[in-house]
Amino acid sequence: MRKLFYIVQKEFIQIFRNKAILPLMTVVPIMQLIVLSFAASNEVRNVQLAIVDQDNSEYSRLITSKIKNSDRFILMDNPPSVKLADGMMQSGNADIILTIPPQFEKNFFKNKTGEIQLLVNAINGQQATVGAAYLAQIIQSFNQEIRLDAVPQLAVMKQFSSPQLRIENSNWYNPDLSYKDFMVPGILGELATLLVMLLTAMNIVREREIGTIEQINVTPIKKWQFILGKMIPFLFIGMFLLTVGMIAGKLIFDIPIVGSLWVIFAYCLLNLTAVLGIGLFISNLADTQQQAMFITFFFAIIFILMCGLFTPIESMPKMAQYFTIPNPIAHFVHVMRSVLLKGSEFSDVAYNFKVTAVLAVVFNSLAILSYRKVS
Amino acid sequence: MENNAITAIGLTKKFGDFTAVNAITFEVKKGEIFGFLGANGAGKTTAIKMLIGLSRPTNGQATVAGFDVFKQTNRIKENIGYMSQKFSLYEDLTVKQNINFYGGIYGLSRKKIIEKTASIIENLNLRSYANKVVGDLPLGWKQRLSFAVASVHDPKIIFLDEPTGGVDPATRRQFWEMIYEASNNGITIFVTTHYMDEAEYCHRVSIMVDGKIEALGTPRELKERFKVNSMDDVFIQLARG
């Protein structure tokens, strides 16, 4: 046990002596948290719209003004012809073209139908589908209004008419659909795990490069003492980062903390232990820091893209969903969000605790087994 | 056997088809300074690694400090010190922190570590450097500190793998004084070197060629056997085959 203390002490001295690493471990992640949380927004705003109004009727103007009032769209222009509007889309000045054909109002009264065309630039699929959906919603509600207007009997008959379903949404746990509330906890979890994984991956391999590992290997120190001695300082750094990040998140973004911080920190400890195991395992496999970097990079990309931070895991193909099970960041993001936003208790995230515990055991066993004192 | 610090019988290491160390047999007596010579690539470092428990022998037997190299590597490690050709102290730790760390992982008591730290700094005249990082020391001083740290736990045997590479003659001289002092205190020294003048300082030497020990004896015996005047000539005759 005393030997362990000496290893931990040595690691801490080295970490605090390294003038380059220290700010990388504290300031940079907080900056990332701030920048990413502000910028990495999934919300669709500022959709550029061109409306070709060939009808110029009361109704067509009504639609136009309704759309104008929505803050999601910017009405770029009212080109007189579809051809000109096409040109706008071609040159990137319009994302959606709304065409109101001639005789729109007339047809509506005469035939009880009206047709409107939406042309969507789907290069950015997200923007296109979400934008078009918003637009459709506006037109839909407009439709409801004018139906009553156009066929006055309908208003009278309304109570007798065929039943209609009306959907009322209510957003639980994040009532304002605040994007930041949703992203900050996830990004924080992701940053903490990535940093810890990278630092540990570089650690042992660095000793191998310098040659000190050989000196360690001729001492009677046990594998587990060495590995544990390497883990404790990084566990500490990860927890420290999380604490600072939570405080920053609260002060800057006012993220809600509904659930218990104990659950958060207990889970963080467990999760970082698992991640450390990966880092140390990589460190044992690699011969140079460069190799370690590339292996870490490989895992990091997969972990980030498949952690549910940016794209919901539920909408991934079934196969891909299985791959998220051994991804510690996926569990981290889930636990952070559930506990902070929803107030989940331990029993609600027990599944994540269990899986992460298994991951921690597996990864750390790999780390200890792959650390070879003898060639 | 009991008077031997190291006994090796038919010790062999193969890497695939390549035999790096081919059935070497020798013994090193307690308190002896044993020079382990050989050209680059002759298999010296591999042989040392088997003796200190960093590499598992393919064949043969060996005991180091009375312990078996197959089964008791951890007991061996408690009883030996090792200084490699690569400088192996932490350059970003101070002199004191290095001694403290290695003393600690060898399991010395806190009191013992403080004592050792004081005596090493005193002996090496490092007082003004005690709180400086090791990276700032001149190479010669680093090597001597390395040696002191390798023997911080009072081992029975110290293995030195080319300890004086790249060091000036005056510092080499000082280094060998440290070796003699350790030897006088009853510590067995197992040293590899490329400097034949250093070979002359050894009590006995062996010369390895292509994985085999081709000659073993005191420097004087070897010179007589090969009818030459210096260890240099002995080495050249053997190494050329």
Average the pLDDT over A284-312 and give the result. 88
The 10s digit of each residue's pLDDT in A74-103 is 888 888 888 888 888 888 888 888 888 888
Tell me which residue in B90, B104, B106 faces A14 most closely, judged by beta carbons. B90
Q: With beta carbons less than 8 A apart as the criterion, state whether B102 and B149 touch.
A: yes
Q: How many CB atoms lie within 10 A of CB A127?
A: 19
pLDDT bin (cut points 50, 70, 90) of residue A298 is very high
What are the structure tokens assigned to A165, written together?
């379903």
Contacts of residue A285, defined as CB under 8 A and 6 or more positions apart, other chains included, come to A291, A295, A370
The B18-29 sheet, strands edge to edge: B18-29, B4-15, B59-64, B67-68
Q: With beta carbons less than 8 A apart as the criterion, state whether A308 and A323 touch.
A: no
| Closest approach of A358 to chain B, Cα-based (Å) | 31
Query: Looking at this protein, which amino acid is placed at residue A162?
Result: S
Q: Do A373 and B80 touch (CB under 8 A)?
A: no
**Chain A residue closest in CA terms to B109:** A2
Instruction: Report the percent of chain A where pLDDT is more than 90.
Output: 20
Q: Do B105 and A14 touch (CB under 8 A)?
A: no
| Alpha carbons A51 and A45: distance in angstroms, whole number | 17
ipTM: 0.87
Most confident of A39-43, A188-192, A251-255, B215-219: B215-219
The 10s digit of each residue's pLDDT in B64-100 is 999 999 999 889 999 999 998 777 899 999 999 999 9
The 10s digit of each residue's pLDDT in B21-36 is 999 999 999 999 999 9
pLDDT of A42 strictly over 70: no
| Closest approach of A9 to chain B, Cα-based (Å) | 8
The 10s digit of each residue's pLDDT in A233-266 is 999 989 988 898 889 888 988 888 888 999 999 9
| Alpha carbons B190 and B49: distance in angstroms, whole number | 12
What domains are defined for chain B? 4-240 (3.40.50.300)
What domains are defined for chain A? 2-40+176-370 (no CATH), 47-157 (3.40.1710.10)
| Interface probe with B: pick from A1, A209, A218, most Cβ of B within 10 Å | A218
Q: Do B92 and A374 touch (CB under 8 A)?
A: no
What are the structure tokens assigned to A127, written together?
């923007």
| Alpha carbons A234 and A195: distance in angstroms, whole number | 9
| Alpha carbons B238 and B39: distance in angstroms, whole number | 10
Q: Do B97 and A10 touch (CB under 8 A)?
A: yes
Closest alpha carbon to B23 in B34, B12, B36: B12
| Interface probe with A: pick from B92, B105, B161, most Cβ of A within 10 Å | B105
Model pTM? 0.79
| Alpha carbons A306 and A78: distance in angstroms, whole number | 42
| Closest approach of A373 to chain B, Cα-based (Å) | 6
| Alpha carbons B132 and B115: distance in angstroms, whole number | 19
**What one-character DSSP code corresponds to residue B94?**
B
**Secondary structure (3-state) at B133:** strand
Average the pLDDT over A176-187 and give the result. 78
Query: Which is more confident, A182 or B199?
Result: B199
| Alpha carbons B83 and B157: distance in angstroms, whole number | 11
Helix residue spans in A91-178 (DSSP H): 104-111, 125-150, 152-157
Q: Do A3 and B55 touch (CB under 8 A)?
A: no
Predicted confidence at residue B165, as pLDDT, reads 81
| Alpha carbons B87 and A110: distance in angstroms, whole number | 94
Contacts of residue B186, defined as CB under 8 A and 6 or more positions apart, other chains included, come to B30, B31
| Alpha carbons A153 and A233: distance in angstroms, whole number | 76
| Closest approach of A16 to chain B, Cα-based (Å) | 10
Closest alpha carbon to B184 in B193, B176, B172: B176
**A residues 202-261 near B, CB within 8 Å?**
210-212, 214-221
Predicted confidence at residue B189, as pLDDT, reads 95
Tell me which residue in B86, B93, B104 faces A214 most closely, judged by beta carbons. B86
pLDDT bin (cut points 50, 70, 90) of residue A177 is low
Name the residue with tokens 């081992």.
B155
**Chain A residue closest in CA terms to B107:** A3
| Alpha carbons A63 and A114: distance in angstroms, whole number | 13
The 10s digit of each residue's pLDDT in B132-157 is 999 998 888 888 899 999 999 999 99
Q: Are strands B4-15 and B18-29 parallel, antiparallel or unpaired?
A: antiparallel
Closest alpha carbon to A291 in A208, A219, A350: A208
**A residues 11-40 near B, CB within 8 Å?**
13-14, 17-18
Contacts of residue B112, defined as CB under 8 A and 6 or more positions apart, other chains included, come to B103
| Alpha carbons A49 and A202: distance in angstroms, whole number | 50
Average the pLDDT over B168-196 and give the result. 91
| Closest approach of B23 to chain A, Cα-based (Å) | 19
Contacts of residue A223, defined as CB under 8 A and 6 or more positions apart, other chains included, come to A368, A371, A373
Q: What is the mean pLDDT of chain A?
A: 84
Query: Which is more confident, A46 or B178?
Result: B178
The 10s digit of each residue's pLDDT in A302-313 is 998 888 887 788
Query: Which is more confident, A45 or B202?
Result: B202
Predicted confidence at residue A103, as pLDDT, reads 84
Predicted confidence at residue A19, as pLDDT, reads 80
The 10s digit of each residue's pLDDT in B97-132 is 999 999 999 999 999 999 999 999 999 888 889 999
| Alpha carbons B182 and B157: distance in angstroms, whole number | 10
Average the pLDDT over A3-9 and give the result. 92
**Secondary structure (3-state) at B89:** coil
The 10s digit of each residue's pLDDT in A118-174 is 888 888 777 777 888 888 888 888 887 777 666 666 555 555 555 567 677 777 777
Predicted confidence at residue B119, as pLDDT, reads 93
Average the pLDDT over A166-189 and give the result. 76
Average the pLDDT over A283-307 and give the result. 90
Q: Do A374 and B53 touch (CB under 8 A)?
A: yes
Q: Do A218 and B53 touch (CB under 8 A)?
A: yes
- How many Cβ contacts (< 8 angstroms) between chains A and B? 77
Instruction: Report the percent of chain A where pLDDT is more than 70.
Output: 92
Tell me which residue in B78, B86, B92 faces A211 most closely, judged by beta carbons. B86
The β-bridge partners of A370 are none
